[in-house]
Structure 1
Amino acid sequence: MKITNVSVYRAPMTAMKEGAAHAVLLVRIETDEGISGAGEIGLAYGAGGSGAAQIVLELARAHVIGRDPMRTEAIFDAMRRKTFWGHVPGPIFGAAVSAIDEALWDIKGKAMSQPVHVLLGGACRDELRLYCNGWYRSRTTPEAYAEAARDVVARGFDAMKFDPMKLDAAGKSAHPNRRLERPLENLAAARVEAVREAVGPDIDILVELHGNIWPMDAIRFGKRIAHTNPLFMEEVADAEDAEAARQVAEGCGLAIAGGERLCTPIEFRRFFELRALSVAQPDMGIAGGFTGVRAIAALAAAHGVYIQPHNCGGPISTAACLHLSFSITNFLIQEIFPVWPEDDRLDLVDAPYEKQVRNGRMPLPSRPGLGVELNMDYLKRLDCLTAV
């Protein structure tokens, strides 16, 4: 089998009420045997997606087209080692490598009539525990957070994540810029306390800070909400600063999660060696796809660190996260956005996993490859770039 073409599709999404607008970027790899695979560039938001799309085409022409898609390790190594900048890829270059790698594993699974998790060593569990994200959009008051949290529990979830600083009291974007001012701190703490009171002690709450504040403020906030017993506090300082993450962990006594913006095992190694993270959150769409993230997961296991793949994009990202999570021993919990009320991104595939959630759990996938097929009727409406 030989790879014959690589295409990138851009699916722009309707802006959310908070103002953020996503664009899901999908990669499709075709072969001379009629088997195709799908991957996703992990840059659905923020800057850099268009750059990653162009890098996909460069990599495809130089190192992918004409190769045997079963040789995922060799292709991954060529994309990283024979491209100069691939040695230290960063999220833009890393996203291109990741999407190609995911699509290659999808092809490999289909060719062998096996789910990807089987090729990765087989399932370590029969279902995945999920936590719900995206449930608190447009909420402002602590009472509104509490009501929405109760709805999440009513849908069967026993874990949920939220950023209590995302919006100010007026519903406007309020992400702090390093310094956490007292009014927002008070409101954020009240939101966390309201959620805990609403869901009771047996539901896990996960508190997201998005790397927007510095250690002094993160420690103070962590101490303030410690009595609510969050499962972890996430991205508590600048994303690349392992020493700061450890400082916060030691200062507030909470478990710290992070890593969604890191791209290689070497970048994660610093955090692991410093004991800065209890939970590592590599993104399948920027940290190397299956080939890259399973190496990170193995390194994490050697340091006693759990894995929770970061997932905030389209349905191919979700599919890749699930197969990886089923196959590793140090899995903790999986992030999922069960609905995207503003847009139709779940229609990009035939059977999105987001619609298969049952009581906050995901059953073991059984279809070959990633277990989803791209909706070509949808893709025909999108802008498309091809390597050939």
Structure 2
Amino acid sequence: MKITKIDVFLINALAKDNPAWTPVGCRVYTDAGIYGDGEAALAYGFASNAAYGALIDLSKMIIGQDPLENEVLWENLYKGTFWAQNGGAVMFGAISALDVALWDIKAKFFNVPLYKLLGGKFRSSLRAYASQLQFGWCDKKLALSKPQEYYDVAKKAINEGYTAVKVDFFTFDEDGVG
């Protein structure tokens, strides 16, 4: 099996309501028809364009390679460029996106849950929290800034079954300006 193509994309790249929130994703395709998805985890705080560019450059390094050799590919990505060896969020975010996509492919190829490949299941359940409530916790991004607004969205998340919430109170000032 070989990697044939990698799509790199900015999700919501043209969003006018919050240009500082732009997730970066990738999809790695193989000649076996299996694909894997990854995300660079640098969507917040204007790092997405840098991660997008790094991901495009790094993607070229693994086209034609065997996606099941993910540890070898990670090492090649790390040592194959001067900047990766110096670390940093942008390079490691881009490498991580590809690595996650490769693990996704591997789990699909062997038809097992990923946790089986990573050493076994440690928990039968995992607590999830409602995140980024300052954007309104709804279909449209809002700019929340008032205590009552935070209370209302936290209450909505709790009513949906969440037992914890995460809010970045510094995203917007008291007038809702970011």
Greater C-alpha Rg: 1
Query: Are the aligned partners of 1:39 and 1:102 in contact in 2 as well (CA < 8 Å)?
Result: yes
Match of 2:22 in 1: 23
User: Quick check: 1:10–1:25 contact (8 Å CA) kept in 2?
Assistant: yes
Letter in 2 for 1:30: Y
Counterpart code for 1:67: Q
Q: Does 1:85 align with 2:90?
A: no
Q: 1:3 to 1:169 in 2, by over 3 A?
A: closer
The structural deviation recorded for 1:101 is 0.5
Tell me, in whole angstroms, the C-alpha distance in 2 between the residues paired with 1:105 and 1:166. Answer: 33
Quick check: which one's strand share is greater?
Answer: 1
Q: Which residues in structure 2 correspond to 1:88-127 (within 5 Å)?
A: 88-127=86-125
Counterpart pick for 1:158 among 141, 158, 163: 163
Q: Could you give the per-residue CA deviations for residues 285-315 of structure 1, whole angstroms, max 9, x where no partner exists?
A: xxxxxxxxxxxxxxxxxxxxxxxxxxxxxxx
Give the alignment's TM-score, normalised by structure 1.
Answer: 0.40
Unaligned runs of 5+ residues in structure 2 are 136-142
CA offsets, 1:50-96, max 9 Å, x none? 3333333332333x122211111111111112322211221221222
Number of the residue aligned with 2:140: none
| TM-score, with structure 2 as normaliser | 0.81
Letter of the aligned partner of 1:5 in structure 2? Answer: K
Q: How does 1:5-44 map to 2 (within 5 A)?
A: 5-13=5-13, 14-16=15-17, 19-44=18-43
Equivalents in 1 of 2:167, 2:94: separation in Å?
28
Q: Determine which of 136, 147, 153 is the counterpart of 1:148.
A: 153
SS across alignment from 1:156: coil
CA contact (8 A) 1:130 1:157 kept: yes
- Pairing of 1:211-290 with structure 2 (within 5 A): none
Asked if 1 retains the 8 angstrom alpha-carbon contact of 2:51 and 2:90, the reply is: yes
Q: 1-side partners of 2:155 and 2:68: how far apart?
A: 46
**Cα-Cα RMSD:** 2.2
Name the aligned partner's letter for residue 105 of structure 1: W
Determine the C-alpha separation between the residues in 2 that align with 1:77 and 1:143: 49
Give me the whole-angstrom Cα distance separating, in 1, the residues matched to 2:59 and 2:107: 20
Question: In structure 2, how many angstroms separate the alpha carbons of the residues matched to 1:66 and 1:139?
Answer: 47
Name the structure 1 match of 2:175. 170
CA distance in 2, matches of 1:140, 1:84: 42
User: Gapped runs of 5+ residues in structure 1?
Assistant: 174-388
How far apart in 2 are the matches of 1:3 and 1:73? 15
Classify 1:43/1:166 alpha carbon distance in 2 versus 1 (closer, same or farther; 3 Å): closer
CA deviation profile, 1:122-149 (whole Å, cap 9, x unmatched)? 2211221011123343333333333333
Q: Which residue of 2 aligns with 1:60?
A: 59
AA in 2 matched with 1:145: Y
Amino acid at match of 1:147: D
- After superposition, what is the alpha-carbon deviation per residue over 1:202-241, rounded to whole angstroms, capped at 9, x for unaligned? xxxxxxxxxxxxxxxxxxxxxxxxxxxxxxxxxxxxxxxx
- Residues 169, 25 of structure 1: CA spacing in aligned structure 2 closer, same or farther, 3 A cutoff? closer
Whether the aligned pair in 2 keeps the contact of 1:37 and 1:104 (CA below 8 Å) is yes
Q: 2:128 aligns to what SS in structure 1?
A: strand
Looking at structure 1, the residues matched to 95 and 111 of structure 2 have their Cα atoms a distance apart, in angstroms, of 24
Larger relative contact order, structure 1 or 2 (CA cutoff 8 Å, min sep 6): 1
Identity %: 34
Shift of 1:37: 1.2
Supply the AA of the counterpart residue of 1:3. Answer: I
Give CA-to-partner distance per residue, 1:316-353, whole Å, 9 cap, x none. xxxxxxxxxxxxxxxxxxxxxxxxxxxxxxxxxxxxxx
Is the 1:27–1:40 contact (alpha carbons within 8 Å) kept by the matching residues of 2?
A: yes
CA distance in 1, matches of 2:153, 2:29: 43
Deviation of the 1:165 alpha carbon: 3.8
Amino acid at match of 2:122: C
Matches of 2:52 and 2:174, distance apart in 1? 38
Give yes or no for contact 1:15–1:21 (8 Å, CA) kept in 2.
no
